[in-house]
Amino acid sequence: MESKLLNRFCRYVRVDTQADEMAKTYPSSPGQLALGKILKEEMESLGAQEVVQTGHGIVYATIPATVQEKVPVIAWLAHMDTSPETSGKNVQPVVHPNYDGRDLVLPGDRAQLILVRENPELASMVGKTLITTDGTTLLGADNKAGVAVIMEAMTRLLTNPGIPHGKIRVCFTCDEEIGKGVDHLDLKFLGAVAAYTLDGGGQGEIDTETFSADLATVRINGVNIHPSIAKNRMTNAVRIAGKFLTLLPWDSLSPETTEGKQGFMHPYHMEGGVAQITLKILLRDFETQGLRQLEIRLKTIAGQLQQEYPSATIDVQVTKQYRNMADGMEKEPRAIAFAIEAMKRAGIEPKVTSVRGGTDGSRLTELGLPTPNLSTGEHNPHSPLEWTCLEEMETAARVLVELAQVWREKGK
């Protein structure tokens, strides 16, 4: 089973599904449609029912119940897209069997090193099978590890009808990495009382709390004119943007200097020139009301610079992204309790955790479908130093099989 899981994962990561934040289409990249088609055909060949790929690229399927009694319907979800921050084109997965505990040199760019001192979790990986990128792209374990895990669990249930479980819905989404993963997901069509995203790091973690998140877009309009006649006439938006960034509280509210449940403001994109600059800044806080305070700080900085440069215009627009899943998890407490039980049955000690990020589950929970996030062995996501562990993925698939049985036994 492990070799099939490995082959499945390596096949998926070779499909370029990098999300494109600037695209006007949904999904934002054609590779997501291509991977969705592959998954649809594979699920049909396995004998899954109600397999559909929608016009928006979302793929649904059903693992039919093997028992007659009424069991609550649950759903498993993963997203097909990869981060826009690092290239997902021509991914070359590198398999490291029987890992020896030393630093990993990536063959496509030997300057890229996965160092043991920076990855303490590698200490527990000796003898296991690791998969890395070659150093020139990301790997795409976020979230194709989750896709592969779901497909593996589906295979086990469909080929072993003696395992008692209720109806399970499977859903693969698009554009999660750019905050649009559930924009076109039909909750009524999904038809579940609880769901699980397979989009977590390491092993044994159940994410039940996430950041609340907004996106701030700062537009600075200057006045452009030829530099030879610019005195007292030019207002350089690039220089104003530089001042704006220096006024952000780097030492206390940046991802580089915070941890745990500390929030942050993260400028991650800047484009433009003298006439206009656009800054994009992520706002994150575990307390939803804290986002308002971050917005006020940005608008205060904008106001200060507006006074200093009256011929410029500085506008701050904040758009909602997602909210802390903890706010809605109490609607279906069995979702967490049964995940804990499934992990124990799979032989691992569960850890209920908070994650400094978000998942499709954040928005799904806000919409009324409680959706904790489960580990799938993702490490160093969004980076050429990304890696995953085959045994951790195999464990995640085993957890899903156990989870299906727990819901059948205790969910009635």
Round to whole Å and give the CA distance between 144 and 294.
33
Q: Which residues are catalytic?
A: 81, 176
pLDDT at residue 2 in the model: 52
Mean pLDDT of the chain: 96
State percent of the chain over pLDDT 90. Answer: 95
Report pTM: 0.90
Based on the number of CB atoms within 10 Å of its own CB, is 227 exposed (0-12), middle (13-18) or buried (19 or more)? exposed
The two tokens of residue 352 are: 């209920």
Flag whether pLDDT at 1 surpasses 60: no
Flag whether pLDDT at 406 surpasses 60: yes
In CATH terms, the fold of domain 212-322 is Alpha-Beta Plaits (3.30.70)
Give the residue with greater pLDDT, 45 vs 411: 45
What ranges do the domains of the chain cover?
Answer: 2-210+324-410, 212-322
Q: What 8-state DSSP symbol labels residue 258?
A: -
- Look up the CATH superfamily of 2-210+324-410: Zn peptidases (3.40.630.10)
Flag whether pLDDT at 245 surpasses 50: yes
pLDDT tens string 111-160: 999 999 999 999 999 999 999 999 999 999 999 999 999 999 999 999 99
- The letter for the amino acid at 263 is G
Q: Is the peptide bond before 90 cis (omega within 30 degrees of 0)?
A: no
pLDDT at residue 392 in the model: 97
Strands 168-173 and 59-63: antiparallel
**C-alpha triplet 217, 220, 226: angle, nearest 5°:** 145
Round to whole Å and give the CA distance between 387 and 378.
7
- Residue 355 CA, chain-centre distance (Å), reads 11
Q: List the alpha helices (DSSP H) in 134-236.
A: 141-158, 187-190
> How many alpha carbons lie under 13 Å from residue 241 in its C-beta half-sphere?
23
pLDDT at residue 412 in the model: 78
pLDDT tens string 66-114: 999 999 999 999 999 999 999 999 999 999 999 999 999 999 999 999 9
